[in-house]
Structure 1
Amino acid sequence: MTGVFNDSYAATYDTVYAEKNYAAECEAVENLIAKFRRGEIKKLLDLGCGTGKHAVIFAGDGFDVTGVDQSEAMVARARHRASHMKLGANPEFLSGDIRNFSGKSPFDAALMNFNVIGYMSSNDDALDALGAARKNLRQDGLLIADFWYGPAVVVDPPGENTRRFETGDAVVVRSSSGLHLPDSQRCEITVKVMRLQGNTVLGQAEETHQVRYFFPLELELMLRVSGFKLLALTGFPDINTPASSRKWAAAMVAVAV
């Protein structure tokens, strides 16, 4: 989990994901909260909050949000983003490891957006993250996370992809290549980001991300031993469809027991 989302990569993160539909994802999460909540859901813990794009939407919708991320560069950008927005309650952003984070008071829901759980590539890491989430939740609190659905990854392994993004007078080129490692149930994704002005390279970064995928029965077992009960597996962000071997993106909803 270490060695990714460092300063040079974080600097281009929002440009690379500018077309990502954060609003649709937040709407999906809020609909899952409304469907499965047991009591009022007000205090949200955003685990692996990145640059805060999900968090500020939740805050704008009236939730009291605390975001946590291991990357100080990401947290700095999240704080900057929130400070320039008119929000009813400004989210709090903290630098920390989601595997051992301990908040000040119980939260009503814990969220792992943008496949954060997938970066817990070992069983120990995944169980530590789930266990920490449980310790920060009240009884009957919710855990909602999107993740890579194992059956879909096996059917359609990762390949190569290159995209270009215009940003002011420069161009950001992001290329990724994926190596499927089925014996360890993960994908090794190498991401290269280059910022260009004409033929001049203004900056570049390269990172290799070890990203795990999950199968339904192992998720159910991991959640159970971590103090949760699995309530639902759905597509994501289309939560009205079941998780499917035809699409990598899925979401899980669990309740703290």
Structure 2
Amino acid sequence: MTGVFNEAYASAYDAMYADKSNAAECDAVVSLFRKCGDRKISRLLDLGCGTGRHAIELAGRGFDVTGVDFSEAMLARARERAPGKGTLDFAQGDARSYRSAKPFDAVLMNFNVLGYMSSNQDFTAALATARANLRAGGVFVADFWYGPAVVIDPPGERLREITAGDSKILRCSRGTHEPDRQCISIAIRVIEVQQGQIRADSEEVHTMRYFFPLELELALQSHGFRLAALTGYPDIEKPASASEWLAALCAVAI
């Protein structure tokens, strides 16, 4: 995960994903709480919170949220947007090693944070972190790329142009499928143009893992979880499907 979410990328992040429905995704998360939780859920840990979009939305719904991210550039933007948004705190930390003194009712990994755990070492460390920060009966919710769908429909190249105030942002992405590693390496170039001049030009390579159902069930069991739901995302009423890349899991701490 080194070398990603640096200052140039972080500065354009919210504009690039302005059309992403955080409210709909938080609806899905809360619905999974109701389906799988054993009692009222109030304290949430958002691992890999980024610029705080989900954390702020959930705090506004009355949850007590702690957002953790390893990127100070992303956290700086989260803190700028956070004042007055409910019971909310942000801290620098790693999803593979963060430990809180007090357990949470739920742990979240939103926007494919789990996919950034591309090695088995990172993946198992992230699951151990989720379990260590949960009370018994608490829930772990994560969205991820669903392996059967990725194998059937591998990635290509995409170009997006986003208007942000008086600037234009060009996001160019090129995905390279590495099936033997269950990974996709995405080279992302972000160019910000203001008044006809290039203001910023940066490139990062994001290596993302995809997951299969039996793999997830076994890994969760070995880290003290019971897999309670494997669904589409953000429409959790649908099952995970080989026709859709996005899926979500909900697991209960045992």
Match of 1:66 in 2: 66
Listed one character per residue, the Cα deviations across residues 196-221 of structure 1 (whole Å, up to 9, x for unaligned) are 12431011110000000000000001
Partners of 1:49 and 1:230 lie apart in 2 by: 23
Q: Distance in 1 between matches of 2:228 and 2:82?
A: 32
Partners of 2:184 and 2:209 within 8 A in 1: yes
| Deviation sequence 1:177-229 (CA, Å, 0-9, x none) | 10000000000001010001243101111000000000000000110111111
Aligned residue runs from structure 1 range 91-110, under 5 A? 91-110=88-107
Q: Distance in 2 between matches of 1:169 and 1:133?
A: 41
| Alignment-mate amino acid for residue 197 of structure 2 | T
Aligned-partner Cα distance in 2 for 1:88–1:219 = 33
Q: What residue is the counterpart of 2:34 in the other structure?
A: 34
Give the structure 2 partner of residue 158 of structure 1.
155
Segments of structure 1 that go 5 or more residues without pairing to the other structure are: none
Q: Is 1:143 aligned to residue 140 of structure 2?
A: yes
Q: Which amino acid aligns with 2:201?
A: Q
Which residue of structure 2 aligns with residue 87 of structure 1? 85
CA–CA distance in structure 2, aligned partners of residues 28 and 40 of structure 1:
16
Q: Aligned match of 2:224 in 223, 227, 240?
A: 227
Give the structure-1-normalised TM-score.
0.97
The match for 2:167 among 167, 170, 192 is: 170
SS at 2:85's partner residue?
coil
Asked if the contact 2:145–2:247 (Cα under 8 Å) also holds between the matched residues in 1, the reply is yes
Residue 114 of structure 2 aligns with an amino acid whose one-letter code is I
SS in 2 for 1:66: strand
For residues 57 and 198 of structure 1, the distance between their equivalents in structure 2, rounded to whole angstroms, comes to 33
Task: Give the Cα separation in 1 of the matches to 2:36 and 2:111.
Answer: 20
Read off the aligned partner of 2:75 and give its amino acid letter. Answer: V
Quick one: distance in 2 between partners of 1:78 and 1:171?
Answer: 22
**Secondary structure at the residue paired with 1:102?**
coil
Residues in 1 aligned to 2:98 and 2:154: alpha-carbon distance in whole angstroms? 33
RMSD between aligned alpha carbons? 0.8
Amino acid in the other structure paired with 1:39: R
Equivalent residues of 2:161, 2:169 under 8 A apart? yes
Write the letter of the residue equivalent to 2:228.
Answer: L
SS in 1 for 2:118: coil
AA of the residue aligned to 1:21: S
Amino acid at match of 1:53: R
Asked if residue 236 in structure 1 is aligned to residue 233 in structure 2, the reply is yes
Structure 2 CA distance for aligned equivalents of residues 122 and 195 of structure 1: 32
- Give, in whole Å, the separation in 2 of the partners of 1:136 and 1:234: 24
- Find the aligned partners of 1:194 and 1:244 in 2 and give their Cα distance: 34
SS of the residue aligned with 2:82? helix
Q: AA paired with 2:161?
A: R
Task: Give CA-to-partner distance per residue, 1:41-64, whole Å, 9 cap, x none.
Answer: 000000000000000010000000
Unaligned stretches of 5+ in structure 2? Answer: none
| Contact 2:64 2:86 (8 Å CA) reproduced | no
Structure 2 residue aligned with 1:127: 124
